[in-house]
Structure 1
């Protein structure tokens, strides 16, 4: 992995482009560290980025070549069953193996831009943090590292959940609504998942014991889905959501 540094992110990218003798459209950029001026020079740091040549596009095959050459069809990945095309349709860009190389490059690019956007917001909150981006198929995960974990997570996860909702809005605005994003810090999501699982099981036992429904505290949609999932196969209780955002909550009641 080759890293490039400068006083600014753009400067680090320009240094990389000069050394690689490429333009920005030919590379993939991952921002590893945002620059910081520090206080009278104390705690200052330079921007650090990883720049590598982008994966070249696969050569296109003309429509008549696809129709007339069986070997060309054999080399293409199987198309997802739900995607249907005819002879006049545009070429399919996604396969059962996931998005094509071109689409994955677009996902990585918008994920990098999202990371820069969030890093600026976190910095404005007074939180000193670094972040790493991971893109797998249609899911973006951004892991933050900071000594101010409690401040970034917030009470009951409100701060990091708000940032995650903002991140999803950003992707939707960029026309990448099919991408899902998860923000994490210090394995908070894993710990929160364990907490929600215990909560769902305990409240289900209470409903069975008392015969009365239980209304959980409002939570974001992805956490409500987990509660529903945990109790989906429970023979004694059922769940549903009630209320309107942002106060929509899960209700557990006898089946």
Structure 2
């Protein structure tokens, strides 16, 4: 996920330098010795040691959890649980006021997810994804979306035309695309710009989706 090279007079000093610079803890990295360095002769021709630090998912999991706890601390007691599967980080929020964490139509969750994604990817060499949920809101939202999409699919097939859904967040549009994929003779794609971007469900002989939302 991230690799850096650090130089210092000795390997031990290089490792300590990396820990202090990046706030690394045991179990959050592995390192490879590139060059052990040399003291030279009478202080001449000395050469620094060089190591390569490889940050693992434990580092990003902790940093993301700390970031979100700090961001949400002003709003009361919040529990943040972060898990990782490959390059995808899943965040579960809990607290005394889930409604505040979720926001109207999930707006607060969407904003937190966007900020968390930016934060994590600024630290990483590779693209990482973040999904933020609270009180299984997304699971409940998906169930509601399935009912809405099912009706839209029926209308599109009946009229052999297209049905445009209401504006949605990116994570909701992805849910719609996944649902549509399970049905024949329909396709889905997104139109418009944020925050008014919408999904269109259209009758299609091959039913191939034209666009996925990032």
Same fold (TM over 0.5): yes
- Report deviation, 1:200: 1.5
Task: Say if 1:194 and 1:176 are closer, same or farther in 2 by CA, change over 3 A.
Answer: farther
- Report deviation, 1:134: 1.3
Is the Cα contact below 8 Å between 1:171 and 1:177 reproduced in 2? Answer: no
Q: Residue 163 in 1 paired to residue 128 in 2?
A: no
SS at match of 2:140: helix
Q: Distance in 2 between matches of 1:231 and 1:167?
A: 28
Moved over 6 A (4+): 58-62
Residue 54 of structure 1: which of 5, 10, 27 is its match? 27
Matches of residues 27-42 of structure 1 in structure 2 within 5 Å? none
Q: Residue 118 in 1 paired to residue 112 in 2?
A: no
CA RMSD of aligned residues (A): 3.2
- Report deviation, 1:60: 6.6
TM-score (norm 2): 0.67
- Report deviation, 1:177: 4.9
Task: Say if 1:212 and 1:142 are closer, same or farther in 2 by CA, change over 3 A.
Answer: same
Q: Distance in 2 between matches of 1:59 and 1:169?
A: 29
Residue 58 of structure 2 corresponds to 108
Greater strand proportion:
2
Residue 142 of structure 1: which of 67, 76, 91 is its match? 91
Residue 245 of structure 1: which of 179, 194, 197 is its match? 194
Q: Distance in 2 between matches of 1:148 and 1:209?
A: 43
- Report deviation, 1:167: 0.8
Q: Distance in 1 between matches of 2:54 and 2:143?
A: 37
Q: Distance in 1 between matches of 2:119 and 2:192?
A: 25
Which 5+ residue runs of structure 2 have no aligned equivalent?
1-15, 36-51, 205-214
Q: Residue 174 in 1 paired to residue 115 in 2?
A: no
Q: Residue 197 in 1 paired to residue 170 in 2?
A: no
Q: Distance in 1 between matches of 2:28 and 2:121?
A: 25
User: Deviations for 1:158-180, whole angstroms, at most 9, x for unmatched residues?
Assistant: 11111101111112222355211
Which 5+ residue runs of structure 1 have no aligned equivalent?
1-21, 30-51, 63-92, 94-100
- Report deviation, 1:242: 0.5
Residue 214 of structure 1: which of 163, 167, 175 is its match? 163
Task: Tell me the number of residue pairs that the alignment of Structure 1 and Structure 2 aligns.
Answer: 171
Ranked by relative contact order (alpha carbons within 8 Å, sequence separation 6 or more), the top structure is 2
- Report deviation, 1:110: 2.8
User: Deviations for 1:38-67, whole angstroms, at most 9, x for unmatched residues?
Assistant: xxxxxxxxxxxxxx84267376799xxxxx
TM-score (norm 1): 0.57
Q: Distance in 1 between matches of 2:114 and 2:107?
A: 10
- Report deviation, 1:218: 1.7
